[in-house]
Amino acid sequence: MWRRFLLAGVIVLAVAGSGLAAGNRVLVVGVLSDSHCGAKHATASEDAAKCVIACASGGADYVVVSEGKIYKFEKKNAFYKHFAGKNVEVVGNLTGDTFAMMDLGVAELTGEPPKNLQLFEGTLKSSGGKYTLESAGKVYSIDAGTAADKGESLPSMVGQAVEVVGSAEGDTIHLHDAQTR
């Protein structure tokens, strides 16, 4: 399971052009707003959703507001309407304040967004029922008990390149979610 969705099975993988997008692959947790209202919708709500949809219908672009900063998307996409005014996680290549459309994932979060989430990329390993992630020359233990699915999806990812979202504490990642790359 990639993330918890109210819209079941919705993952965006939008491809624009060929080649790899420049920038850094990052995770941003925030609220999907619009370029007209911006940080006015820094808190998810039904009223924010209505306003964001109305502004986007009037020509505003969708943006993500996170910790007072506004992140744009490279291209306007009506798909983002599904996430208007909601807490989201966005994983993708970021150049400056703009997400490239290449290999971009947007997922709705239920409830309040978790704090201190980071994106880790590496290879998932398993030994004796315990999971580790080898990432950039470092080995992290995976605490799967903190994940929404309690780590039930991890066995199918062993030995593969994965993206792990979680909070780090020393050499342990408290898992929020994971997916294969």
Does some domain include residue 16?
no
If one compares 113 and 124, the residue with the highest pLDDT of the two is: 124
Residue 61 has pLDDT above 90, yes or no: yes
Regarding whether 131 and 165 lie in a shared domain, the answer is yes
Domain of residue 151, residue span: 118-180
Regarding whether 94 and 52 lie in a shared domain, the answer is yes
Regarding whether 61 and 102 lie in a shared domain, the answer is yes
Regarding whether 52 and 123 lie in a shared domain, the answer is no
Q: What is the pTM of this model?
A: 0.73
Regarding whether 162 and 92 lie in a shared domain, the answer is no
First to last CA, the chain: 13
Domain count, the chain: 2
Helix H or strand E encompassing 11? none
102-116 residue pLDDT tens: 777 888 887 777 778
- pLDDT class for 73, splitting at 50, 70, 90? very high
The strand pair at 130-135 and 105-108 is best described as: unpaired
Q: Quick one: tokens of 35? A: 């370029």
6-40 residue pLDDT tens: 222 233 333 333 233 346 889 999 999 999 999 99
Q: Where are the beta strands (DSSP E) in 24-171?
A: 24-34, 62-66, 69-73, 87-95, 98-99, 105-108, 118-127, 130-135, 138-143, 161-169
- What CATH number does the domain containing 99 carry? 2.40.50
If one compares 149 and 140, the residue with the highest pLDDT of the two is: 140
Regarding whether 88 and 59 lie in a shared domain, the answer is yes
Strand partners, 141: 132, 172
Which of 108, 140, 157 is a domain's end point?
108
